[in-house]
Amino acid sequence: MFEFLRQLVSAGVLVTAGWLAGVVLLFLIAQGHVVVIGMLARTYLYLAMLPEGAVFHSRNGRLAAIAYDPETDEDRTHELIRVGRLSFLSWRSGRARPAAFVRRRFALETAWRAGILLFVTVPVFGVVAWLTYAVDPLWAYVLVFLAAHQVLTGFVPGGGFYVKPWLVHLSIAYVFLDGADLWHPSLAVAAPVYCGFVLLGMAWMGRDLRARPGGAAGRRAAEAA
């Protein structure tokens, strides 16, 4: 009995540590997504089209520009992009910033996200692809998961597609059964089934995120989470 309890605790610690590391890694990969970088680049180019004298505000998670419109003889607000707390494009609400300041912030924002793409996303895909080729073909399911994460994050930038808790519990149960030498399906059988459940969960989550109020706006703006 004590041995079973020890195996259960070991499985829980091992899987939880892996899950937390995976959450951090997926968060970073989502921040450096090519869709987000592309949205930042397009918004940066749009800044040049704004009238001179435009000022910028970061309010309620959105970056907006206020510029004088001679046709209506009043100030007009231009909604630019959604931002989060960890973004260079977020600052104290209510404080106006000039265009030069915002351009510098856009350069910083694009640089660190491009750095994540080059130094995190690309190496991760490269390592997993090498493991699939040189170590074990079952690593291909991890590669499929990473590719699906990239595709879904492209549809819902900043959506946060992570492994659901019940799937983490399922992993703990499998590792426990394996460590305790109890019956469990082989990894060759369990891996594709588990990968299928994960992909279905991600697709379901993506559908829910796109169906939320404001989801259409979210698909047109980058989430700098």
Q: What is the pTM of this model?
A: 0.81
**Which of 9-13, 129-133, 152-156, 214-218 has the largest mean confidence?**
129-133
pLDDT score of 25 more than 70: yes
164 contact partners, CB below 8 Å, separation of at least 6: 201
195 contact partners, CB below 8 Å, separation of at least 6: 141, 144, 145
Measuring CA to CA, which residue among 172, 149, 174, 170 is closest to residue 159? Answer: 149
Measuring CA to CA, which residue among 224, 210, 216 is closest to residue 40? Answer: 224
Q: Please give the biggest Cα pair distance in the chain.
A: 80
pLDDT score of 171 more than 60: yes
Enumerate the H helices of the chain as residue ranges. Answer: 2-31, 34-47, 99-116, 122-134, 140-155, 165-179, 187-211, 215-219
